[in-house]
Structure 1
Amino acid sequence: MSAHYEPRTTLGRVVNEIEETAIALILGAMTLITFTNVVLRYGFSTGLIWGLEATTFLFAWLVLFGISYAVKTTAHLGVDAIINLFGPAVRRGLAITVGVICIIYAFLLFKGAWDYWANFANLPQTTGRWFPTGLEEMGRTSYRGWYETIDIPFPEWLRWIEPIMNEGEHYEKLPRFIPYVILPFGMGLLLFRFIQATVRIWKGEGESLIVSHEAEDAVADVRHMNYED
């Protein structure tokens, strides 16, 4: 079964609250938008034009938050048939090695996510193919904050960003850099969780990055209930 996570530091508690609150709010927003659209469509032959695009973005946010959440709770599935052939010391060494590989992979994802988001956020992309070697030089044509979503309307309370991101021009739709910000944020959170999990294994406070024998535990529970009957 996946482990119950208890944050031990102030940073851990803050990140945990952000993560779990965001997941709950996203699920609630998706449910509300979808339910409203169903009622409008079948009850009034209308609907929220922007509903599908909004729920698509929200689902993407949910997935990216969920990836790091699953690392935190060791809920990712994995195969440990080979590593279980070794003793505890070797298994620990293999787990740390895998953790380091995951950290490198998450860092590469974070770089790619930043570079993609920066393209829409009037920010410089990183140079270097694999690891950042600096920041690109930006000219006037590098500012692409004017890219908008297809259907999601622009909230009036965000008009203050127009002079900053769109040279004072009015947005008609929500600019893409807002929903796309989940890419670097989500990958940064994933990197944080992999570092956290690897350090935990290094300190001997965990054994693996993956879920334990969930299927075997479930079978054992059923067998135990049958014996009680």
Structure 2
Amino acid sequence: MSSGYHPNTALGRFVHEFEETAIAVILGLMTLITFINVVLRYGFNTGLIWGLEAVTFLFAWLVLFGMSYAVKITSHLGVDAVINLFSSRTKRFIALFAALICIVYAGLLLKGAWDYWAPFAGLDATSGRWFPTGFENSRDQAWYETVDMPMPDWLRFIEPIMNEGESYAKLPRFLPYAMLPIGMALLLFRFIQAGVRIFTGVSHGLIVSHEAEDDVAAVSHMNAGD
């Protein structure tokens, strides 16, 4: 998978590789599980009982990874008809203001994602209504399990840590739910990165993609070739 994006820092390169590898693996797993289920269902009248739940979680992971990935490659759609009426300096100020709003919004999402996930991992949620002011005790929900996904034996080592030594019959929920804070942290990182690029003059906009214009130009080019 190639996006044409070339990070300049070690952290940027790590996150870049992590995102693209994760997206490729998730797409591969979704395809493989769905294909196996179809073959089992129509060929052998059986199926993976946990397949649908696994694909549902994988699709949710793909969406959460995709949000930050789309910010990185500037593929989110935006309307800039009014912004283009202003001078370059004003457009840069508007882009910086938009980046700031997005950073604050992503920070709020990260707090909410952590507060939702933390009890499932036996951790404390943050205090404060809007912004974290510390941590507060939350009810331990680490014993919650998924509906159908089996617990792999190689993960049994977490049972003394997370479930007071009790065995998990199914995969604990905190594992698939972990993508919530991870996805929001990646989104926050990408918005900060985009804001820095605008501030330093490397980029002139935030996440605007002229998809419609590109499609029209492509069709015009094809017609001209005819």
Q: Which TM-score band applies after superposition, normalised by the shorter structure?
A: over 0.9
- 1:78 counterpart residue number: 78
Q: State the one-letter code of the partner of 2:84.
A: N
Aligned ranges 1:113-128 → 2 under 5 Å: 113-128=113-128
CA-CA distance at 1:225 after TM superposition: 4.0
CA contact (8 A) 1:120 1:177 kept: yes
CA contact (8 A) 2:50 2:150 kept: yes
CA-CA distance at 1:228 after TM superposition: 4.6
- 2:7 counterpart residue number: 7
**Does structure 1 residue 145 correspond to structure 2 residue 179?**
no
- Structure 1 gap ranges (5+): none
- 2:27 counterpart residue number: 27
RMSD: 1.2
Distance 2:155 2:217 in 1: 55
- 2:201 counterpart residue number: 204
Distance 1:74 1:106 in 2: 16
SS in 2 for 1:135: strand
CA-CA distance at 1:213 after TM superposition: 2.2
| Count of matched residue pairs | 224
Aligned ranges 1:57-72 → 2 under 5 Å: 57-72=57-72
Taking only the aligned residue pairs, the percentage that are identical comes to 70
> 1:190-224 deviations in whole A, cap 9, x for unaligned?
00000000100111111112233222233223334
Higher relative contact order (CA 8 A, sep 6+): 1
**Does structure 1 residue 172 correspond to structure 2 residue 194?**
no
**Does structure 1 residue 136 correspond to structure 2 residue 133?**
no
CA contact (8 A) 1:76 1:209 kept: no
SS in 2 for 1:120: helix
- 1:42 counterpart residue number: 42
- 2:157 counterpart residue number: 160
Scaled by the length of structure 2, the TM-score of the pair is: 0.96
